[in-house]
Amino acid sequence: MTDTSYDFGSGRADPDTFPVKALQAAARQAIEEEAVALTRYPGGLGHLGLRKAMARREQEREGTAVDPDQIILTNGSMQAVTLTAQTLQEAPGDTVIVEEFSYPGTLAAYRSLKLRMEGVPVSESGMRLDALEERLHSLSKVGRQAKFIYTISTCQNPTGATMPRRDRLELIALAQRFSVPVIEDNCYADVHYEGPVEPALYSLDDSPAQIYICSLSKILGPGLRLGYLIARSPVRDRVLENRNDAGGNLLAAAIAAKFYENGIWQHAAVTNAALKTKRDLLLQGLAQELSDACCWSTPAGGLFVWVRLPEDVDRKKLWALSQSSGVSYLPGSSFHVAAKDVPYLRLAFGHLSHADIGDGVRVLARCIRESRQSNAPRDFDSLF
Ligand SMILES: Cc1ncc(COP(=O)(O)O)c(C=O)c1O
């Protein structure tokens, strides 16, 4: 195996737009101002300044007031994923609903909590609500009511799908009808390139059944390990009761709070412009190299393109060939709720250079062709 030259595998922020100088200045000030607070444990909710900054972020995007005391800062949004599931779970073996393709970190966390996951098929509009309704029905018929629905409603990882407003309202109505709370993971909310910004579920329904997760990983950097959840009483208090780590990293939170003193949008505009250029380069490369063989998503935001492969690709061979050619990606099976080997792969583009995106797609396209049993044009016209 050669070293990976073209790493389309990991979903990271763009290193070129990481704000080194501004964060250095923020860190200097934060350490001075928080010296005493840093000698104490931060507590369950976390740094008030960052909670206020994230309340403002949410309010400015959603047009709905968010109380900073409903925000719980976490160690990345991954901790929020685990904490919310632990809070709503009653026993091992409980059933929960996820999109059929979902974020591997969530799938791993739920597996380790011994949750039984029901995967609902996804379309270009996100979780398919006809299939969700059917699933909720059949579960309740056999007395296995789902404990919650987990959805990545905007720029879904991995498919890139964004659920339109009308479907969001239908999802809320369905969840209410079956008395199932919803955990919305909105990690990619502000990694937005074009098109309408669809409303978060909590802004459409002010009941405690809406639990919301967001992150700073995708707008700033995952190394800070800063995420948060929004939950209303009594769920908020139950989440806090489940938290046993004396709070998150106060220093990282204080630095980010200083950095975002004037809101998140100024920096988001810089990062999103850079990422959109990379997304476009990747889409352009795919169109040049693979339009006869594959279909792929055109995500309105986020860090990934989801690629459908022809059935005649030998996926084991493709993996081996790609590895030995210096290209990495994540195979469809990593995202499948039951780890099924499906004819898809996910390409991340955020941290690659422009040249590597173009060159990497050319190498990947060659590997795909060499792993096929024929040169026949693809026999599908859509991603799903
Ligand atoms: C949908 C989703 N949720 C949560 C996470 C975890 O992010 P973090 O813990 O860095 O905030 C990711 C990371 O890729 C993700 O894609």
* Residue-wise pLDDT tens digits, 271-295: 999 999 999 999 999 999 999 999 9
Check whether 4 has a pLDDT greater than 80: no
User: Which residues lie closer than 8 Å to 130 by C-beta, 6 or more apart?
Assistant: none
Rounded distance between C-alpha atoms, residue 75 and residue 222, angstroms: 10
Which of 262, 292, 316 is the endpoint of a domain? 262
Taking residue 291's Cβ as centre, other Cβ atoms within 10 Å add up to: 12
Domain identity same for 61 and 181:
yes
Give yes or no for residue 100 CB within 6 A of ligand 1.
no
> What are the pLDDT digits (tens) for 251-275?
999 999 999 999 999 999 999 999 9
| Pocket flag, ligand 1, residue 76 (CB < 6 Å) | yes
The tokens for 115 are 């949750």
DSSP codes, 197-251:
-PPPHHHH--STTEEEEEESTTTT-GGG-EEEEE--TTHHHHHHHH--SS-S-HH
Neighbours of 379 (CB within 10 A): 8
Based on the domain organization, do 54 and 165 belong to the same domain?
Answer: yes
Question: What is the pLDDT averaged over residues 56-76?
Answer: 97
Is the separation of the CB atoms in 24 and 255 below 8 Å?
A: no
**Across 122-130, average pLDDT:** 97
Query: Is there a single domain that holds both residue 44 and residue 138?
Result: yes
The closest-lying atom of ligand 1 relative to the alpha carbon of residue 81 is: 4
The pLDDT value recorded for residue 331 is 98
Asked if residue 218 and residue 105 are part of one domain, the reply reads: yes
Decide: 221 in ligand 1 pocket, CB within 6 A: no
Residue positions counted in the chain: 384
pLDDT value for 2: 54
Residue 164 pLDDT greater than 70, yes or no? yes
Range of the domain at 77: 35-262
Q: Specify the DSSP element, H or E, that contains 182.
A: strand 182-185
Q: Is the same domain home to 233 and 311?
A: no
Last residue of a domain, one of 242, 262, 282: 262
Ligand 1 pocket test target in 10, 83, 154, 187 with most atoms within 8 Å of CB: 187
244 exposure class (CB count in 10 Å sphere: 0-12, 13-18, 19+) = exposed
Atom of ligand 1 nearest to the CA of 226: 11
* Average pLDDT in the chain: 97
Q: Which of 54, 84, 157, 212, when mutated, tests ligand 1's pocket best, judged by the most ligand atoms within 8 Å of its CB?
A: 157
For residue 299, say if its preceding peptide bond is cis, omega within 30 degrees of 0.
Answer: no
| 270 and 243 in a common domain | no
Res. 195 pLDDT band, cuts 50 70 90? very high
Q: pTM for this one?
A: 0.97
Cβ atoms of 297 and 159 within 8 Å: the answer is yes
Query: How remote is the CA of residue 157 from the centroid of ligand 1, in Å?
Result: 9
pLDDT for the residue 1? 46
Looking at residue 12, what is its pLDDT? 87
Regarding whether 356 and 211 lie in a shared domain, the answer is no
Residue-wise pLDDT for 227-248, tens only, equals 999 999 999 999 999 999 999 9
| Residue 375 belongs to a domain | no
pLDDT in tens, 330-371: 999 999 999 999 999 999 999 999 999 999 999 999 999 999
Report yes or no on 256 lying in a domain. Answer: yes
**187 in ligand 1 pocket by Cβ < 6 Å?**
yes
Domain boundary at 262, 279, 314, which? Answer: 262
Mark whether 253 and 300 lie in a shared domain: no
